[in-house]
Copies of this chain bind each other. A is one copy, B any other.
Amino acid sequence: MIKAGIIGATGYAGAELVRILMGHPSVEIKWYGSRSYIDKKYADVYRNMFEIVEDTCLDDNIEELAKQVDVIFTATPQGFLGSVLNEKILSETKVIDLSADYRIKDVATYEKWYKIEHKSPQFIEEAVYGLCEINREKVKNARLVANPGCYTTCSILTAYPLVKEGLIDANTLIVDAKSGTSGAGRGAKVNNLFCEVNENMKAYGVATHRHTPEIEEQLGYAAGKEITISFTPHLVPMNRGILATEYASLVKKADGSYPTKEEIRAAYEKYYKNEKFVRVLEDGVCPETKWVEGSNYVDVNFVVDERTGRVIMMGALDNLVKGAAGQAVQNMNLLFGLKESEGLELVPMFP
């Protein structure tokens, strides 16, 4: 059995990690770290776990934890892992970071968008960006995995094949993303109260959201050049789910015509045909967040709009699963040579 420790086990992403790992046949959780709930029974913080998890919350002493487990998941605020990581930890255990600390290769970009000084930039280079469908081979040999953000996973996977194949002009990409409220975390804020979110919808972080440079970096690799995109997140009155609606101008072919629907579809099939967790929907079917809820799937599809010369791409995932904990487990499976889908064959729950 792989021994796992979680730092930040009482946030929503941490709790989802617990839920998924409870059903994973090859892992046992040895450490439920929670700065806020030290010495409290985990099941008193998440009562769904009553009679399932008997453990008590521990602190976030990552050095001590590193000695005891094979893998550490850090589901912590930005800056935490950056401020405590060291070579000794990485020599003793694998680390999968669900925060943004090691996602962005350029430390200046990180510090500009996150407004935090990076305390251990020396590990950025070796960190592997854990978007399994794209970086699978690199993840297998990593010591430190930067688990992608929820919006970014959805945004990138939805557009990746078309960027990679040069079918769209990546600099025209506009990502309009909508997220359930669990993405805002479990902190007690007026803005996230039921009465403020229910029957309401809004954009936030317009032109300034921190997932923007992460999308730009990864899609830039696919495009083979630096790109600049627009990304707008929105808050939706539901618990889980992200829907990304993405717009881009099609690149005309040599004969002046636009790529056809069939050519676009072929690009998606090329990259995702063998990907268990990316489902390219049938023609005419728009992704819905409910159809992937509780599962590790991303559903994607597209519409070619010849009137405007644009393609509209759509992707849906569960922000706590493929957007966070599920992808972290997928990365863990790769790190330990397990079947990539082990413990992740979760059937979406409907309704």
A: which residues have CB within 8 A of B? 12, 15, 19, 22-23, 46-52, 174, 176, 178, 180-182, 186, 188-190, 192-204, 206-207, 228-230, 232, 234, 236-241, 243, 245, 247, 279, 281, 285-295, 299, 303-305, 307-308, 310, 312, 314, 316, 345, 347-351
Residue in chain B with minimal CB distance to A181 = B194
Assess whether A305 is in contact with B230, with CB atoms less than 8 Å apart. Answer: yes
Checking B19, B238, B299 against A198 with a beta-carbon cut-off of 8 angstroms, the contacting residue is B238
Please report the C-alpha to C-alpha distance between residue A201 and residue B286 in the assembled complex, in whole angstroms: 10
Assess whether B202 is in contact with A48, with CB atoms less than 8 Å apart. Answer: no
Checking B19, B285, B294 against A47 with a beta-carbon cut-off of 8 angstroms, the contacting residue is B285
Q: How many copies does the complex hold?
A: 4
Assess whether A178 is in contact with B181, with CB atoms less than 8 Å apart. Answer: no
Assess whether A310 is in contact with B241, with CB atoms less than 8 Å apart. Answer: no
Chain B residues with CB under 8 Å of A182's CB are: 195, 351
Once A178-B234, A238-B237, A245-B232 are accepted as A-B contacts, the answer to whether A351 and B294 lie under 8 Å apart by CB is no
Smallest CB–CB gap between A150 and chain B, Å? Answer: 14
Smallest CB–CB gap between A80 and chain B, Å? Answer: 20
Checking B48, B207, B243, B299 against A305 with a beta-carbon cut-off of 8 angstroms, the contacting residue is B207
Please report the C-alpha to C-alpha distance between residue A232 and residue B308 in the assembled complex, in whole angstroms: 13
Residue in chain B with minimal CB distance to A174 = B247
Assess whether A290 is in contact with B347, with CB atoms less than 8 Å apart. Answer: no
Assess whether A349 is in contact with B232, with CB atoms less than 8 Å apart. Answer: no
Chain B residues with CB under 8 Å of A286's CB are: 202-204, 206
Smallest CB–CB gap between A335 and chain B, Å? Answer: 23
Smallest CB–CB gap between A227 and chain B, Å? Answer: 10
Chain B residues with CB under 8 Å of A52's CB are: 347
Smallest CB–CB gap between A240 and chain B, Å? Answer: 7
Residue in chain B with minimal CB distance to A349 = B294
Known: A48-B290, A49-B348, A195-B239. 18 other contacts (CB 8 A): A19-B349, A19-B350, A48-B295, A50-B279, A50-B291, A174-B310, A176-B176, A182-B195, A186-B193, A198-B237, A200-B238, A200-B290, A203-B286, A203-B287, A203-B312, A207-B304, A234-B243, A234-B245
Chain B residues with CB under 8 Å of A239's CB are: 194-195, 198-199, 351
Chain B residues with CB under 8 Å of A237's CB are: 194, 198, 236-238
Smallest CB–CB gap between A234 and chain B, Å? Answer: 7
Chain B residues with CB under 8 Å of A178's CB are: 178, 201, 234, 236
Smallest CB–CB gap between A20 and chain B, Å? Answer: 8
Assess whether A289 is in contact with B201, with CB atoms less than 8 Å apart. Answer: yes
Checking B186, B207, B228, B304 against A190 with a beta-carbon cut-off of 8 angstroms, the contacting residue is B186
Residue in chain B with minimal CB distance to A43 = B282
Checking B51, B188, B287 against A202 with a beta-carbon cut-off of 8 angstroms, the contacting residue is B287
Please report the C-alpha to C-alpha distance between residue A243 and residue B200 in the assembled complex, in whole angstroms: 9
Please report the C-alpha to C-alpha distance between residue A237 and residue B304 in the assembled complex, in whole angstroms: 27
Assess whether A196 is in contact with B232, with CB atoms less than 8 Å apart. Answer: no
Assess whether A303 is in contact with B245, with CB atoms less than 8 Å apart. Answer: no
